[in-house]
């Protein structure tokens, strides 16, 4: 294989109760990338469409992730990368991690698949750190593994893939304002209240149980965030109105996607997910803020090959 085109999906990190540990993978939105072998070693970004991102390899998320996997493999070739961005940077649905997950998945294919998904996540995190300043895996892991993932630990990296109940659908609204992850992290408290922490880790446990048993009521009862949302929701215009509309339309639960500004909900069935989309469209149409809405099944595959030669 000399060239590969891949689809690298958007992802929702945190999933309300699981700050920095839970994430899931979307299907209806993602970037495309073409990665081509070159005789010359090293990494060259030859094309970027859809976003204003740096071409310098060391400053580009995909460039840094590509270097990490190529160096670890002692590859006898280099790569040229074309990036077609559909996920806007700063949207809260894993824009930088899609670049990182996509490129490491693709290069692993070009190498003949020497690395497993956990190793690919580790390379992807090197790229992700360029954008967010921290090596967190809760967007990269669902992109690589697909479905829902739990980051058991970052050092050493341990990712646990979780099951996806078949009737689960996501609705995501992306208000087109930019929130930098570093800024959304800077406003968080350094210490948390014990009674809030108890509720939060009980919800992580019950959400995982709900995913294993396809218990939609338990999933609904677990999608609450007592620790992060009270701070970050203030950065998102009309957050409470959107949340109320999502719940009134029948969503199981909702919350901030990653570090925002996107807001996600999970619903049982596509019909309800579409109804949620309709109701939040009504709300945001009146605000004067541009927005996108995505309704998506949960993508259980993660990054996928579009074609190769």
According to CB under 6 A, which one of 8, 14, 101, 222 is a site residue for ligand HSE?
14
Distance between alpha carbon 8 and the CA centroid of its chain, in Å? 10
C-alpha 167/C-alpha 148 separation (Å) is 14
In whole angstroms, the minimum distance from the beta carbon of 102 to ligand HSE comes to 16
- For residue 186, the tally of other CB atoms under 10 A from its CB is 9
Q: 181 catalytic, yes or no?
A: yes
Task: For residue 101, state whether it binds ligand HSE (rule: CB under 6 A).
Answer: no
Taking the least distance from each CB to ligand HSE, the nearer of 32 and 138 is 138
Distances (CA, A) of 66 to 8, 41, 60: 15, 12, 10
* 119 to 158: interface string for ligand HSE, x by CB under 6 A: -----------------x-xx-------------------
- To the nearest 10 degrees (0 to 180), the angle between helices 117-132 and 61-73 is 140
In whole angstroms, the minimum distance from the beta carbon of 39 to ligand HSE comes to 37
Instruction: Kindly name the residue from 121, 149, 181, 272 that is annotated as catalytic.
Output: 181
Taking the least distance from each CB to ligand HSE, the nearer of 49 and 183 is 183
Task: For residue 36, state whether it binds ligand HSE (rule: CB under 6 A).
Answer: no
Q: If you ran DSSP here, which 8-state letter would residue 175 be given?
A: E
CB distance 253 to 224 below 8 Å: yes
Taking the least distance from each CB to ligand HSE, the nearer of 5 and 185 is 185
C-alpha 38/C-alpha 84 separation (Å) is 20
Q: What is the distance in angstroms between the CA of the first residue and the CA of the last residue of the chain?
A: 6
Taking the least distance from each CB to ligand HSE, the nearer of 17 and 110 is 17
| 141: its two tokens | 């892991």
Residues in contact with ligand HSE, counted by CB under 6 A, come to a total of 12
Q: What is the greatest pairwise CA distance in the chain?
A: 58
Taking the least distance from each CB to ligand HSE, the nearer of 111 and 173 is 173
Pseudo-torsion of CA 142, 143, 146, 152, nearest 10°? -30
CB distance 80 to 46 below 8 Å: yes
Taking the least distance from each CB to ligand HSE, the nearer of 4 and 208 is 208
- Over its C-alpha atoms, the chain yields an Rg (Å, rounded) of 19
In whole angstroms, the minimum distance from the beta carbon of 233 to ligand HSE comes to 13
In whole angstroms, the minimum distance from the beta carbon of 134 to ligand HSE comes to 8
Instruction: Kindly name the residue from 32, 80, 128, 229 that is annotated as catalytic.
Output: 128
- Choose the binding region for ligand HSE from 12-20, 29-37, 263-271, 277-285 (rule: CB under 6 A): 12-20
Q: Per CB under 6 A, which of residues 147..206 are in contact with ligand HSE?
A: 181, 184-185
Q: 71 catalytic, yes or no?
A: no
Q: Are strands 43-49 and 78-84 parallel, antiparallel or unpaired?
A: parallel
CB distance 139 to 21 below 8 Å: no
- Choose the binding region for ligand HSE from 14-22, 82-90, 165-173, 300-308 (rule: CB under 6 A): 14-22
Return residues touching ligand HSE (CB under 6 A). Answer: 13-14, 19-20, 136, 138-139, 181, 184-185, 258-259
């Amino acid at each position: 294989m000399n060239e590969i085109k891949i689809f690298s999906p958007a992802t929702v990190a945190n999933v309300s109760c699981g700050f920095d540990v839970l994430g899931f993978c979307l299907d209806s939105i993602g970037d495309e990338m073409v990665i081509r072998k070159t005789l010359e070693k090293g990494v060259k970004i030859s094309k970027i469409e859809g976003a204003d991102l740096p071409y310098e390899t060391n400053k580009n998320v995909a460039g840094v992730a590509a270097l990490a996997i190529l160096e670890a493999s002692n590859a006898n070739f280099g790569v040229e990368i074309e990036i077609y961005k559909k996920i806007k940077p700063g949207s809260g649905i894993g824009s930088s991690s899609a670049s990182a997950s996509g490129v490491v998945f693709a290069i692993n294919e070009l190498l003949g698949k020497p690395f497993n998904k956990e190793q690919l996540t580790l390379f992807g995190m090197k790229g992700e750190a360029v954008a967010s300043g921290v090596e967190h895996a809760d967007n990269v892991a669902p992109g690589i593994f697909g479905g829902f993932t739990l980051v058991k630990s970052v050092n050493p990296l341990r990712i646990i893939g979780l099951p996806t109940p078949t009737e689960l659908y996501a609705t995501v609204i992306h208000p087109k304002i930019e929130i930098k992850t570093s800024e959304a992290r800077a406003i968080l408290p350094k210490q948390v209240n014990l009674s809030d922490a108890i509720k939060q880790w009980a919800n992580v446990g019950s959400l995982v149980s709900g995913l294993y048993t396809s218990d939609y009521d338990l999933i609904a009862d677990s999608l609450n965030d007592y620790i992060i949302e009270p701070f970050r929701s203030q950065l998102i215009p009309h957050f409470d109105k959107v949340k109320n509309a999502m719940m009134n339309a029948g969503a199981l639960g909702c919350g901030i996607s990653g570090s925002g500004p996107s807001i996600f909900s999970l619903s049982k069935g596509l019909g309800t997910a579409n109804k949620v989309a309709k109701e939040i469209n009504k709300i945001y149409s009146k605000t004067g803020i541009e927005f996108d809405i995505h309704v998506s099944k949960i993508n259980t595959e993660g990054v996928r090959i579009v074609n190769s030669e």
